[in-house]
Every structure is written in C-alpha cells, then in structure tokens.
Amino acid sequence: MGKVKVGIINVTGYAGVELARLLYKHPGIELTSVTGRSAAGQKLNQIFPHLDKLDLDIAPKLGEVELAFSALPHKESAQEIVPLIEKGIKVVDISADFRLNDPDDYPRWYNFTHPAPLLLKKAIYGLTELYRKKIASAQLIANPGCYPTGAILALAPAVKEGLIAPDIVIDSKSGVSGAGRSLSLSTHFSEVNEDVSAYALEGHRHLPEITQELKKLGGKEPSVTFIPHLIPMTRGILTTAYASLVTGKLAEGKKGIEELRQLYLDFYKGEPFVRVSATPPHTKHTWGNNFCFIYPTIDLRTNRLIAISAIDNLVKGAAGQAIQNMNLMLGLPETTGLEALPVYP
C-alpha cells in the first residue's frame, strides 16, 4: 500500500507548522501540498529552517491530496472545506467551524452565520478518547479546541459516572502560542512577560464546546464557569476543574480518593495518550508530545472534586490530536507518528 497524499491549508500558523513537523517522519503519509496566503510562492524550509528536509512550495491553493488538514481561522476554514468535502476528500478541521452541533451558536460565539449548516451533522467531534469508532469512518473531523481538550478529558470520567453536581468551575492557564502567530499588542513580549491575566470573563468561545460535550457524557446540561488565563510561557495548558461530589457515590475520606483514582484509571485504560498521574502534572511534562496527564483528587474538607490536566496546546490541543484522528480515518495505528517522548526540561 502506497503512502497517502496529505496537504495542509495555512501551514504558516503555529498549528500548521506543528503539523508539518509531526508529519515529516510519519511512515504512512506523504506531505505533498501546503498553502499559506501571506507566504505563497516561497519555500516552506526557507521560512522555517527547522523544516529543512521539507522542500515544498507554499502555494495559494491546495494541490491534489487524499486528506487535508485545515489550519485556517474560524469562518475562513469552512469556506475552504466545503468544496473538498464535495470532492470526496477526507478533512480534519483544526478551526472551530464544525465543533458546535447547533448552527445558531455560531453567530453568538464566533460572530458569523455558518455557510454549511448541513455539514455540522456530518462532522464528528475529534476527541479520540470519546469518539474513536465514529472518527474511523468519518470524512470530516472537527478537531477539538485546546482548552476543551484538557477540560473535557479531566472531567469525562466523573461526569459519565454521575459523580459530580452540574455546577462546574474550570480554571485554565495557557501559554502565549494559543493566541496564534498573528501580531497583537496583548501577546507582545513586554506585555506578557512577568504577567498573568484572566480574559473572556463574559464567556470564552470554547465554553459552548465544553458544555456541549459534557452534556453528551452526563445526559444533562451542566452549568459551567470557565475562566482562561494567559501566562508567560510558549506552550502548554494547565486546567483545574472543580465540582461538588454527589453524596454516596464514593466512600468517605481517603478511601473515596482511592476509588476516584481507580475510576479514572479504568475509564482511560488502554488509552495511548492519556496518563492518570500519581502527582499533579506540569505542562512541561507534555512539551512537544501528544500526552494528556490527568490528576483527580478530592478536597475532603469541602467534598469537592479537583481534576487537573496538562497538555501541550499545539500537540494534543491541535496538531497531534489532528494526526491521531487522521490515523484512525486512514486505518493506521492510532499512535503512528506520535510516539516521541516529551522534551524535558
């Protein structure tokens, strides 16, 4: 069987260039086409010297491929994807354009009317740990957002088992690369360095995605307070989720903590990229890798669940998860091309 021809739309963004890096030595595919509007006509390895072996021209339009990754911003991505789907090409969309099931949510959270609402029913949410079978047979994958990936994986076992009350607080701290590669005052070095700030307190656009998926897990819509923070590092998201435990679901005291940990271990048994850790994880434990580390525990004073997760926002939160989905769509081993250990320190 020959290698599958793959392309990246908008390779010059952080997610796009991370895709190119991870795909470089993937044994089952050949990266044959990349686009980038601001860099069209230039060589990929000239703009990004660390991709020296990828001697590809950055084109204004995608060439002939069997599977495409779209790393365009929201709204723009859907417009590029529709004709690809019509041609029968498999697509993994890294933008938010197909993550929300209800088309009425897009004007509210993303400020545009969805151009292909019927495709929302066809798109499969690409959180592999929850939708593996559906992803394998899908043509269109909505790759999850970085914040939702860490939050949903941290809470999924507890929500699925009905361990917690529906009032949930999620606190996430992200590195600056999550804001993308475009220039903005809020991500200048002198603005971000030695500073931590909360933002989107009125409601972050990843909130409906988190709520949507937790509702599917638990059967009822949770009340979620989600507050993201920007911290002075390049990569990584650390999420801490809090919720009151339902009385009687777990034993009291330390026995309950042991039962909770075992529940998480059972839920994620056999998952290649989820690690239920024995100690609270650090973002550096995931640097450059597709791992998600999760640490569940209980605040015994308040009878409250505390679930902590750590991911690399550009890998498990974007490009790595996209390749994980691609592998399933192509019938390849899920871990192919993603086996490298994190960089430390």
Q: Which residue has the tokens 């390749």?
A: 323
In the structure encoding, which two tokens stand for residue 257, read together? 């903590």
In the structure encoding, which two tokens stand for residue 207, read together? 């909130």
Is 146 annotated as catalytic? yes
Measured over the CA atoms of residue 33, residue 76, residue 329 and residue 342, the dihedral's sign is: positive
What Rg, from alpha-carbon coordinates, does the chain have? 20
Q: Is the peptide bond preceding residue 27 cis, with omega within 30 degrees of 0?
A: no
* 3-class DSSP string for the chain: CCCEEEEEECCCCHHHHHHHHHHCCCCCEEEEEEECHHHCCCEHHHHCHHHCCCCCEEECCCCCCCEEEECCCCCHHHHHHHHHHHCCCEEEECCCCCCCCCCCHHHHHHCCCCCCCCHHHHCEECCHHHHHHHHHCCCEEECCCHHHHHHHHHHHHHHHCCCEEEEEEEEEEECHHHHCCCCCHHHCHHHHCCCCEECCCCCCCCHHHHHHHHHHHHCCCCEEEEEEEECCCCCCEEEEEEEEECCCCCCCCHHHHHHHHHHHHHHCCCCCCEEECCCCCCHHHHCCCCCEEEEEEEECCCCEEEEEEEECCCHHHHHHHHHHHHHHHCCCCCCCCCCCCCCCC
Q: Which of 11, 96, 146, 318 is catalytic?
A: 146
Cα separations in angstroms, 179 against 94, 147, 170, 235: 14, 12, 19, 11
Catalytic annotation, residues: 146
